[in-house]
Structure 1
């Protein structure tokens, strides 16, 4: 076994669109479930990652019901659970890099939420750490984003634009390959 599936932050709190705003890729959860089924059938390692927000008002705070993993992910076993409070799964508990190294895993397939936040950050770090990294874009999703940026002004991007930008940066920058669920499951 030299590869593992990393399922990032597939938590109930991300269904709170009043909090997060408009989203893209309604097929994300079904595609993640397909990847989990393929990994389970092949008896390959699965790493589940959960974001434990430090903000009590966040749906992802450990005291809130939104912190729980979605049913399709929570039902998976056996799997290791990494908890984190930042964007990268490599800064969580237990130490993901050490866990992977102890098992000789050098290939990571990454999916989950949010495409341009925790998925992208984890993929960039994985690439920098030398892992052969694939991001399954249609097994990710994100939300529209708008903010004021110093020197630029108001910037708004749709979830679809953010997903496309993440794919461009990860693959174009040499951090990861971008694939579809169908490609990964059939490989």
Structure 2
């Protein structure tokens, strides 16, 4: 394992270790920057601290899987193999993101459903949740109409990719920032994520 890789893993685990920078040709993130980017990504996209799983997913195997994925993201960022936008996209296309933002609104068992009454799909709520997670704002009517059309024709993966590849995302976050809600507009926006 390279020294830089060990530094990244130490930063992810919150272990203080002396790390010395290596000179490499590609843009690389420092271990502390990588840890901060991943922590912000988990807070914004999954609404949980990095390194924890929802109780329904806590098993030794899930913990190992999570650690491997986070370590992989960390190493890819640190080595310049992926940028922040690509890590955000990978998290947004994950099964955990789907379970958090899409599944609860798309006809699966929902909290408060009456026994024997099938749940009703609410794609508008799922799309709105995606906009909160990926753009830090609620969906507007024009974006909702476009997203609904893509959802029907291509599914949620396409909607997610369209948001991340869109002009607003590019202008606000580019390739190097995690999506966020500013403290000035959190109350007005009404998204569940905490303002940074």
- TM-score, reference length from structure 2: 0.24
Bigger Rg, structure 1 or 2 = 2
Higher relative CO (CA 8 A, sep ≥ 6), structure 1 or 2?
1
Identify the structure with the greater helix proportion: 2
Identify the structure with the greater strand proportion: 1
